[in-house]
Amino acid sequence: MDSVEQLERLMRIESHEDVDEIQEYLIKVIDGAELDETGCVCAEKRGDRDGPRIVLNSHMDVVSPHVPFERVGDEIRGRGACDAKGCLAPMLAAFSCVDPDAGSVRLVISPDEETTQRGLYHYLSDGIEADFAIVGEPSGLDVCPSARGHYDLLVELFGASAHGATPESGTNTTACAAEAIRRIGDLPHLEDETLGPNNFTPTIIEGGNRPNQVPEYTKFVVDYRTVPGESREDAVGKIEEVLQDLVCEADVGFYDGGSSLDSFKTDATDAFVTSFRDHVVAERDTQPTVRPFDAATEAAFFAPYMPVVVFGPGLISDGDQPIAHSEHEFVPVEQVERTGEILTRFLAATLS
């Protein structure tokens, strides 16, 4: 089954609410596939001799709401078209074609990249023996050996309720939230020469339950984009420090169900990275851009163990127009085909 036919089949399986049906499908169509206890669908092919050990990874889940599949001209449209079924389908096609003489190729398909990222995290928690990973996300066929991280931090504020007519007798946590958000916005930025600056964006906010009552509890979420050198502890500590002398008590932690992906940066001159880039050049007949990926990605989970790049058809956005996660999500058919050919030829050459 070629990449485009595989993508059309994947697009007909809804996986925005749960992944049960798509897990069953993947186990059925991938030779030797198994469902790991972490929810990942995994398969491996080994050669008869020692050689490079390659990992292909993408994810089976998509965001809500569902957008129906349709093929219009040279585009495949619908939820997951580019993020990331358009990336997964060529990996399935390449994996089915390759027959390693040496080394191995392992396919690992994550169940929850769009939500908690716990599946792949736990799958890799005991480490992995491999030499190079390719993570399928929409890069427009550019080779992306780095990305900023993404932590969703929860700030909880505790005060004292009072009647709205006598606000001075209480401690207003919504007013505290306004001051906290201002302080966070004034934090200095760290800059990475490749990835640019970190940033902190307040997103969700909830507080109060009556219009005539001073709220005693307010919470808000900070979307914190990290650069290399920043840890989870650093991010929490930075927010805690700037909120130390608020009139409300502040507690900072991670938002349940949010992201906790580190930043990563693979050496762009690594032998596997340059070899893969050369295969992209050969197939595209143009020099691909080697650049940071636009968003945080589960590639960060592989980075402690091996060189890793993000690569795939389609784009997160086109200028100021969103594509992934939007009602207009699509992927060019030609890029899906090219991705399958690039992956197949890279694996064949590397594992020969």
- Classify the phi-psi angles of 73: left when phi > 0, otherwise alpha if psi is within -120 to 50, otherwise beta: left
Residues 28 and 6: beta-carbon distance below 8 Å = no
What does residue 197 show for φ and ψ, rounded to 5 degrees? Answer: -85, 155
Q: State whether residue 291 is helix, strand or coil.
A: strand
Euclidean distance between CA atoms 186 and 200, whole angstroms: 10
Per-residue pLDDT of the chain (352 residues; tens, 9 = 90+): 899 999 999 999 999 999 999 999 999 999 999 999 999 999 999 999 999 999 999 999 999 999 999 999 999 999 999 999 999 999 999 999 999 999 999 999 999 999 999 999 999 998 999 999 999 999 999 999 999 999 999 999 999 999 999 999 999 999 999 999 999 999 999 999 999 999 999 999 999 999 999 999 999 999 999 999 999 999 999 999 999 999 999 999 999 989 999 999 999 999 999 999 999 999 886 777 899 999 999 999 999 999 999 999 999 999 889 999 999 999 999 999 999 999 999 999 999 9
Q: Which residues contact 20 (CB under 8 A, 6 or more apart)?
A: none
| DSSP one-letter code for 101 | S
Total count of residues recorded for the chain = 352
Q: What angle do CA 46, 346, 193 make, to 5 degrees?
A: 115
What's the whole-model pTM score? 0.94
Euclidean distance between CA atoms 43 and 109, whole angstroms: 9
Beta 149-158 vs 260-261: how paired, if at all? antiparallel
Structure token digits, residue 36: 């790991």
Q: Which fold has domain 3-147+263-350?
A: Aminopeptidase (3.40.630)
**Alpha helices (runs of H) in the chain, residue ranges in sequence order:** 3-11, 20-29, 85-97, 118-123, 173-185, 232-242, 271-284, 299-302, 333-350
For 149-260, CATH number? 3.30.70.360
The structural domains of the chain, with segments of one domain joined by +, span 3-147+263-350, 149-260
